[in-house]
Amino acid sequence: MAISAQSAKAFEDHNHQRCCGEVLEQAHKLATSGGLRLTPVRRRTLEILLEEHRAMGAYEVLERLAKDGFGKQPPVAYRALEFLVENGLAHRIRRLNAFAACMTPGQPHAPAFFICELCNCVAEVQDVSVRQAVEAAAAGIGFGVSRANVEVVGTCPACHKGRDQ
């Protein structure tokens, strides 16, 4: 049995201010050490994604950026988001046509996303056993994995509880 289910901050009571702060700091470190340019739009985009543990559509991000004085056209948001995704600072959630900040930037990645269909919160979990199962299945059919999306829809602990009343 492989190591499984790490903490899913999104579903736990936690100091979110600090939670964001840590991720932003980590992002900053990665930028300086890795030669990435975390420009104002990009940084602001990451901050916006970090505000809540949920995914945001590109146009929702764009609206926020426009209010903050950045450009008003879709490429402004899409470019910033693309940069974040390519550099491991955000993830794209295909199921939602949306983006979420990465909660463990810079670390080895095999994320699974758990999306609550009631409150829309999204938890990113680094789960080795899911990845291993995918790799094993791929090996069984001679498939070479380059990227895997694991997106699970259901109810988060809080909403799950509420529903059973």
Binder among 21, 72, 73, 138 for a copy of itself (CB under 8 A) = 138
Distance CA 146, CA 112 (A): 15
Q: Give ∠ CA 24-9-81 in degrees, rounded to 5.
A: 45
Beta bridge partner(s), residue 114: 123, 152
Interface mask toward a copy of itself for 85-124; x: CB under 8 A: ---------xx----------------x-x-xx-----x-
Q: Which stretch binds a copy of itself (CB under 8 A): 38-46, 47-55, 70-78, 153-161?
A: 153-161
- 59: nearest Cα among 98, 101, 113: 98
Question: What amino acid is encoded at 97 in this protein?
Answer: N
What would the x/- binding string for Zn ion be over residues 10 to 39, using CB under 5 A? ------x--x--------------------
Cβ 93 to DNA shortest distance, Å: 9
Check: CB of residue 7 under 8 Å from CB of residue 126: no
Concatenated DSSP letters for 90-112? EEEEGGGTEEEE-SSTTS---EE
The answer to the question of residue 61 lying near DNA (CB under 7 A) is no
Among 20, 58, 102, 123, binds DNA (CB under 7 A): 58
- The residue ranges that bind DNA (CB under 7 A) are 37, 39-42, 57-59, 70-76, 78-80, 83, 97-98
